[in-house]
Structures are given as C-alpha cells and as structure tokens.
Amino acid sequence: MQPPRILAFVFSVLAILFLISIVFPKEGIRIREHVTLQFLTMEEILGADSVHYADISGILSSSVTISDSAYLAMLEKTPEEAAVRDTLRANEDSLKGLIHPIEYPEGDSTLLYPFFRKMRRVNRSGNKLRIMHYGDSQIEGDRMTSFIRYKLQDQFGGSGIGIQPLVQLYGYQLSLRHTASGNWQRYTAFGKTDSTLEHNRYGALGCFARFSPYPDSLDTDTHTYEAWITFEQSLRTYYLTRMFKSCRIYYGNATQPVYFEVYTDGELHDADFLEASEGLQIKSWAFEESPEQLSFQFKTTCSPDFYGIALDHDYGLSVDNVPMRGSAGLVFSKMDGELLKQMYDSLNVKLLLLQFGGNVVPYISDNYTYYEKWFYRELTRLKTLVPDLSIIVIGVADMSMKEKDQFVTYPNLENIRDALRNAAFRSDCAFWDMYSAMGGRNSMPSWVFAQPPLATSDFVHFNERGARVLAEMFYNALIHDYNSYVSSVR
C-alpha cells in the first residue's frame, strides 16, 4: 500500500461522511421516544453552528483567591487571620463589580432591615441568632452553607456547625464526620415518605430518626433497644465550625424514658435519662472546651422521635445546613406547624434561606404557575407560623441538557426561576438569582469545563470549590445590604 492509495482510502471515508452530513436531516431521525439518530451538519463542520458558553472569566479569577483564603481559615483561628482578612478584603474590592444583588419586592431594599437589626445586636450584645439554610442536593454535605457560616460567624461571633439530624443520609461532610449504629430509621417529609407513618411531626429539619420501630398496640414484648451516634471534628472545615460549647438534643413522642451516656473524647461526660413526654423536649449539655469527639449511647424499650442535635456556641450566629435531597421545597405545609414553630422559637431562627427549584427542572412544561402557587403557599405558611421570620429565596442554578454534542440550558429553567421570584415577591420575601449570578444562560458548561472545575459533570451540581465561589457571591450580596442598613441607621 503506497501513500496515494491510503490517501484515496481516507478521502473516500471522509467524502462519504461529508455526503451523509449534507443529506442527513438537521433535526435527526427519530426512531422512538428518547432515541433520535443524529449526525453532523455542514454548519457544525464549519464551526458556524456551535453554542457559546457563558464567559465566566471574572468569576474564575476570584475563585482562586477564595480557595486560598478559605484554606488558610481552616487551619487556625488567629495567627493567619490578618493575612486572610487582607486577601479577602482585596478580593472583595475586586468583586465589587461582580456583586449580584439581592432583589426585593417592589424594590424595597429595607425588607431585611428587621433581620439586620437583630444581627447587628448579636454583634454587640452577645445574643443568639440563627439562620437556617434549606436546599436540595446542591447544598448537601454542607457545601454552600459552610462558607456562608464561616464568613458570618467570623464577623458576628458564634461557632459550631448548628443543628444536625441524628443520622445523616451520608455522614461524611465537609464539616463533620458523623457515624451512627445501623439500627436508626430515618423518616423524611421530602423524597420517599413513609406512608405508614401516622403523624407529620417531622421537626425543623424535615426529618427525624428513631432506633426502635413504632410499637404495635398488640405487642406486649418489652425488648430493649440500644443505639449510638458519634461526631468527630473534621480538619477540613473552618476552625470556627469545629468549635462548639453547647449541645442540645431535640426530641419528642417519648413514651418511655431513655437512658443515655454522653462521652467526650472517649470519657464519660454525663449519664442520665431523657424524660418521657409527648411534646417537644430539649436536653442540653455545656462544654468548657470543644470536644474533638462526641458520642451518645441510648437505651430504651421504645425510642422517641429525635428531631435534631444542635452544636453551637453560647452566643453569636448559628447557620444550619438543611439539605433535602430530591425536594422542590414544597415540604413545610406537609409538616406539623406547631412543632415547627416551637422549634423555630426555641432555636431563635430569624432568617431562612430557601434554595430550591433544581428538582423541578427535568419535568419540562410550558407553564409553571402551579409551582409558583405551591411555593407561595409554603412561604405564606412559614410567615404565618413565625411572623417576624425573614426569608430569602435562592433561585435555581443553571442546569444543562445535551443538544447533540453540546450542552445547553434547559429551555424551562428561566421560567422556573421566574416562578420562584414571583412567589417570593408575592409573599414579601427577598430573592437572590443564582442563575444570573453564575453567568446566566449556558453558564453551567463554563463551570464544569473551568480549570480547575467548579461543577461536576452531571451539569447540575457545584463541586466544593464552585459551591464556595457561589457562597462567597451570596455572602457579598447579603453583607452589601447589611452595610447599607448600618450606614442608614448611623
């Protein structure tokens, strides 16, 4: 075989492919649902018909600084603090042009002032205040929350990871190693709900856990159940997040007393009984020094419903990460309002961040007024339960679907964003448009293909680094408005 013959061979292959690309229908040949044969078009070969991914170079240049300074903040509290501050301040300056503002109904930028007033007071008086960050899998594993928490606690005081469920879906998170015995059963108000459950008292996390089955009235057997949970500090998280001085367990529906033992760093710290009581109960412990490992052992004939365990400082801000995998945020109306209110009051919750919408995106429809209506219902319910509660709805992030070999934004995504914004504004809540903040249409591919990457190849989830970048952007927007409030009262 001489090269001219090889050339002829290669030429004929490419020529045939070229001919096919001319005659092949541009929209492809549909074989059955979800199966369409595609082929290159002339325009694609000439490069004229390619999707342009959003330019995120501004965001990229800031991401490196954010990562570096965040890493320093994980090491220790004080020595590098000045350096961290400097990098962050410099970074904030460079980000000014990048601040993507929080939006308010009718442009009323004083909407969050009541909350800002409380937050400012915390800074001065050493009170306590709590922000709960609810969201879907986008915030799982403390991904966005940890950075927001670190920045706020650094500025307003406070420490600790906040309230956690007794058992996590998966216990390995950025901020805490969480392990538990295998006999815990988790009940959730979102995702797959247990239809045999006879009540809806899920608590503020939208889920509770117990380690014995619900008693059968015919069952006279008095079996004793035992369970344990352990928390270990994670060195990967911010210094402030690791430190806590108080621990509170929230439980209810306790028909029997529960014997417990609490161990700090392997040493017995306390042993007693959790009181039997039908309503919400809180058991708390205080620590002089933050333990590196905290474990609980429980023993009883019938487990109560455990709503959560809060690891906080004695004062300052707490920011909780409450991921609800698979949820579109339509859960609050399904849960017992009285218990929800009791917990919010006891935890002193004054601001909710609700970050949902991503799970609605794959179900493409022309009209999302239904979602707006349902989400509005959730917001009004929360506002009715706790009238002085402020809420910021964080809109959906960009998500891509594939068009041939390119990634494009879901056609319905902006409609869902608008539905969330409308619902927020109608119920007097603020809105932060994450989709625009990250670059708008076709920005997700830019996040996925960035070096180093900021999102994962499902074109839905941010990775740790990307989540940190977005969290920083949100924090900047929030603190910008807080600063406006402060200068307005001066």
Contact status: 105 vs another protein (CB under 8 A)? no
Cβ closer to another protein: 138 or 153? 138
Q: Return the H-helix or E-strand segment holding 409.
A: strand 406-409
How far is residue 290's CA from residue 152's CA, in Å, rounded to a whole number? 20
Answer for the pair 289, 251: CB distance below 8 angstroms, yes or no.
no
Cβ closer to another protein: 7 or 90? 7
How far is residue 449's CA from residue 460's CA, in Å, rounded to a whole number? 13
Site for another protein in 45-104 (CB under 8 A): 45-48
Count of residues near another protein by CB under 8 A: 57
Contact status: 400 vs another protein (CB under 8 A)? yes
Q: Minimum distance from CB of 172 to another protein (Å)?
A: 4
Answer for the pair 184, 209: CB distance below 8 angstroms, yes or no.
yes
DSSP state of 332: G
Contact status: 453 vs another protein (CB under 8 A)? yes
- Collapsing DSSP states into helix, strand and coil, what is residue 318? strand
Q: Minimum distance from CB of 44 to another protein (Å)?
A: 9
Q: Kindly tell me which residue out of 356, 459, 475, 485 binds another protein, with binding defined by CB under 8 A.
A: 459
Site for another protein in 118-137 (CB under 8 A): 137
Which one of the spans 108-116, 166-174, 255-263, 416-424 is the region binding another protein (CB under 8 A)?
166-174
Per-position x/- string for 339-368, each x denoting binding to another protein as judged by CB under 8 A, each - no binding: -----------------------x------
DSSP lists the bridge partners of residue 205 as none
CA distances from 426 to 332, 369, 380, 422, 474 (A): 18, 13, 9, 6, 22
Q: Minimum distance from CB of 61 to another protein (Å)?
A: 10
Which one of the spans 98-106, 171-179, 343-351, 480-488 is the region binding another protein (CB under 8 A)?
171-179
Bridge-based pairing of strands 349-355 and 225-233 is unpaired
Cα 15 to chain center, whole Å?
Answer: 52
Q: Minimum distance from CB of 362 to another protein (Å)?
A: 6
Q: Minimum distance from CB of 334 to another protein (Å)?
A: 17
Cβ closer to another protein: 127 or 463? 463
Q: Kindly tell me which residue out of 38, 123, 301, 484 binds another protein, with binding defined by CB under 8 A.
A: 38
Contact status: 398 vs another protein (CB under 8 A)? no
* Residue 21 in tokens: 């690309």
Per-position x/- string for 278-297, each x denoting binding to another protein as judged by CB under 8 A, each - no binding: --------------------
* Residue 379 in tokens: 């917001």
Contact status: 326 vs another protein (CB under 8 A)? yes
Q: Return the H-helix or E-strand segment holding 413.
A: helix 413-426
Contact status: 12 vs another protein (CB under 8 A)? yes
Cβ closer to another protein: 162 or 445? 445
Question: Which amino acid type is present at position 30?
Answer: R
- List the one residue out of 370, 459, 462, 473 whose CA is nearest residue 416: 370
Contact status: 259 vs another protein (CB under 8 A)? no
How far is residue 186's CA from residue 201's CA, in Å, rounded to a whole number? 13
Cα 153 to chain center, whole Å?
Answer: 18
How far is residue 196's CA from residue 214's CA, in Å, rounded to a whole number? 10
Q: Rounded to 5 degrees, what are φ and ψ at 172? A: -90, 105
* Residue 398 in tokens: 């960009």
Q: Minimum distance from CB of 12 to another protein (Å)?
A: 5
- List the one residue out of 353, 364, 366, 437 whose CA is nearest residue 397: 437
How far is residue 348's CA from residue 342's CA, in Å, rounded to a whole number? 10
Site for another protein in 406-425 (CB under 8 A): 407
Contact status: 1 vs another protein (CB under 8 A)? yes
Count the Cβ atoms, other than its own, within 10 Å of residue 65.
18
Residue 49 CB-half CA count within 13 A: 11
Q: Kindly tell me which residue out of 9, 71, 273, 370 binds another protein, with binding defined by CB under 8 A.
A: 9
Q: Is the N-terminal amide bond of 452 cis, ω within 30° of 0?
A: yes
Q: Return the H-helix or E-strand segment holding 476.
A: helix 464-489
Contact status: 172 vs another protein (CB under 8 A)? yes
Q: Kindly tell me which residue out of 101, 105, 114, 171 binds another protein, with binding defined by CB under 8 A.
A: 171
Cβ closer to another protein: 3 or 97? 3
Q: Minimum distance from CB of 235 to another protein (Å)?
A: 10
Q: Minimum distance from CB of 107 to another protein (Å)?
A: 36
Residues of this chain that bind another protein (CB under 8 A): 1-4, 6-7, 9-14, 16-17, 20, 34, 37-40, 45-48, 137, 140-141, 169-173, 177, 179, 186, 191-192, 236, 325-326, 362, 400-402, 404-405, 407, 449, 453, 456-461, 463-464
